[in-house]
Amino acid sequence: MEERIFRMGELFCGPGGLACGALRARSNDGAFRVEHVWANDYDPDTCKTYINNICPDRPDTVICEDVRDIDIASLGDIDAFCYGFPCNSFSNVGEHRGFANEKYGELYWYGIEVLNAYHPDWFIAENVSGIRSAGSGDFQTILKDMRSAGYRLVVHLYRSEEYGVPQTRHRVIIVGIKKKLDVRFRVPSPAEYATCDISSRKALSDIPSYATNNEIRALSKNVVKRLSYILPGENVWQAETRLGDAFPEELKIHTKTKISQIYRKLDPDKPAYTVTASGGGGTYMYHWTDRELTNRERARLQTFPDRYEFFGDYSSVRKQIGMAVPCDLAQIVVTAILNSFAGIDYPWVEPNMEADDD
């Protein structure tokens, strides 16, 4: 049996959700797998989390600095490349300015530089669903640059909850295969996950005592009182509408925009709404009981293993978890890539966005 190890590099690696899934992935015959070679992120807490969980014996393989200051040519040869370039300019919650936001919008280009420098056999690029409509043709520019680097693309909007992830997290994942290779990637079918229990109740149950980052944060009396009026699955606006004058005036939220996640409780019988990395009061995700989720519970919704330890203060850990790719979804996509290279058939579906035939 032919065995093959794909050496993987990452930019914008975050706390390691994609790497965690990729390193667990195997082709169905067990012969093809992935190995960490190098990774980059600019945040010290995030890098510490990645090192301690992904490569504790090789801390020097994580470059903790701004990608704009990295010498791409010195990173080292790779066969596989993953990057979830920053989504601040493309998020539906954010400014949605695309490349007009120079701080974030054009950071995807550093991934193109990696492709041009190392020509890995395959790559994965991940971003929010809002990237499709950000700016004026920005998304097509990104795809054009990836194709020009020598890759055949399969672009699909993955709905995480369809793949057994207990969270309605929708992300665009681009899989690129080197054009000169006779390998065709297919979007893995979600059919086998249709019967999975992805309820929040199941996801947050039985957290072991050894799991770190599981502290319950104290809330103000006003926040606890506000939550007491909100039913499971509701946000504060829905509670106000349902209760009318019975909802205390001093507990109402007076903002110009009504973001659906403001003081929204999980419905225990449904998957969670999207775990986010940032946001002010009321966006921290709330249990169906009257409290905020712990960071470990957020990590559960992102399918991180219970022994995965996050470093930094409460806000830093919350941000890391919200930025990550769900580990289980990453494993499913990388497994499909490995099967594609191993010539192993697997159940697949047509991409819901676009794919290259040539």
Query: How confident is the model over 177-232, as pLDDT tens digits?
Result: 999 999 999 999 999 999 999 999 999 999 999 999 999 999 999 999 999 999 99
Each residue of 118-157: pLDDT tens digit?
999 999 999 977 777 654 468 888 999 999 999 999 999 9
Whole-number Å distance between alpha carbons of 73 and 87:
25
Please tell me the predicted confidence (pLDDT) of residue 85. Answer: 82
Across 62-87, average pLDDT? 93
Please tell me the predicted confidence (pLDDT) of residue 87. Answer: 56
Tell me if 84 sits within 8 A of 14, measured CB to CB: yes
If we measure between CA atoms, which residue out of 64, 65, 156, 148 comes closest to residue 109? 148
State yes or no: pLDDT of 86 exceeds 80: no
Q: What percent of the chain has pLDDT over 90?
A: 82
Helix (H) or strand (E) holding 152: strand 151-159
Mean of the per-residue pLDDT values of the chain: 92
CA 176 to chain centroid? 18
Residue 237, phi then psi, degrees to nearest 5: -70, -40
Q: How confident is the model at residue 13 (pLDDT cuts 50, 70, 90)?
A: very high
Domain range summary for the chain, segments of one domain joined by +: 4-193+324-355
By annotation, the residues acting in catalysis are 87
Please tell me the predicted confidence (pLDDT) of residue 133. Answer: 65
Superfamily classification of domain 4-193+324-355: Vaccinia Virus protein VP39 (3.40.50.150)
Q: How confident is the model at residue 107 (pLDDT cuts 50, 70, 90)?
A: confident
Alpha helices in 194-234 (DSSP H): 200-203, 221-228
Choice among 31-35, 103-107, 229-233, 250-254 with the minimum mean pLDDT: 103-107
State yes or no: pLDDT of 105 exceeds 80: no
Across 58-82, average pLDDT? 96
In our burial notation (b when 16+ CB lie closer than 10 A, e otherwise), range 49-76 reads bbbbbbbeeeeebbbbeebeebeeeebe
Tell me if 154 sits within 8 A of 187, measured CB to CB: yes
